[in-house]
Structure formats: structure tokens, C-alpha cells
Amino acid sequence: MNVAVLLLAILVALGAAASAQPTSILLSVELPVSPTAGARVFAQKSCIRCHSLAGGEARLGPDLGTIPRLDDPIAIIAAMWNHAPTMERELRTRGLTWPRFEQGEPADLTAFLLTSRTAAGEARAANK
């Protein structure tokens, strides 16, 4: 199983846990990963309402471009897993629900977040 497929499975499970509705899990597909598509997912799934990415205005959640320890896909998924109850509560107070992810979206989202972090790190290094 490649990493993208593993991430898909975990995030589908995460979404299912958050919404308390059964969701089928697909494990056997190879997924192309696209940071550009991930940027769209970040906006469409409301992440952008609560998280900035390496700067911009302060939002409710931490800046996902600069907080430490999110430098590999597993760390990002683990962090989302750990913080899901808090995020879900915050979503509910705004009349929103935890997003459902379609096939490929979690991998794209993770790729986008990693790309943004790399770009932010390089910009910081260049400004030193």
C-alpha cells in the first residue's frame, strides 16, 4: 500500500468517526497526488476558514504553514486525528460539519500542505 492510499483510508475513517455515519473504505487504488488540487480541497473543505498558511491574518486554528512537527504526511494526518474533536466542536458552533473527503482528496491536501510548508521554510531561510 502506498502512502497516499494509506492516508486516504485514515482520513475516510476520520471523517466517518466525526460524522458518525458509516463510510466505505477503498484500499486498492493508486492515487496520483496533486498539490494544486490540494489547494482547492483546502479552500473547499473550509480548512481555510480557520487556518492560515505561513502568514496572513491570525485565525482560530494554528498556522499550518509554520507550526512545528508537521513535516511529513503521517505527522499531518496524526495531528488532524488528534485535533479532530476540537475542530469538529468549532465547526458545529458555526453550523458546519466535518468535511467528507472524496477519493484522492486527502492525499492532495497533504501534498499541498507539505508544499506550502517547504515554500514557507525556504522564504524564511532566504530572509535571514
Q: How far is the CB of 126 from ligand HEC (least distance, A)?
A: 25
Considering the rule CB under 6 A, would residue 51 count as an interface residue with ligand HEC?
Answer: yes
Candidate residues 9, 18, 19, 61; the one interacting with ligand HEC per rule CB under 6 A: 61
Q: Judged by CB under 6 A, how many residues of this single chain contact ligand HEC?
A: 22
Q: What is the DSSP letter of 94?
A: T
**Nearer to ligand HEC among residue 25 and residue 67 (C-beta):** 67
Q: What CA–CA distance (Å, rounded) separates 59 from 37?
A: 23
36 contacts: CB under 8 Å, gap ≥ 6: 112
Q: What CA–CA distance (Å, rounded) separates 17 from 57?
A: 31
Q: Give residues 72-91 in contact with ligand HEC (rule: CB under 6 A).
A: 76, 79-80, 83, 86-87, 90-91
Considering the rule CB under 6 A, would residue 47 count as an interface residue with ligand HEC?
Answer: yes
Map 29-65 to HEC letters: CCCCCCHHHHHHHHHHCCHHHHCCCCCCCCCCCCCCC
Candidate residues 62, 63, 66, 121; the one interacting with ligand HEC per rule CB under 6 A: 62
All cell numbers assigned to 72? 511529513
Instruction: Give the interface with ligand HEC as residue ranges (CB under 6 A).
Output: 45-47, 49-51, 60-62, 64, 67, 76, 79-80, 83, 86-87, 90-91, 94, 99, 109
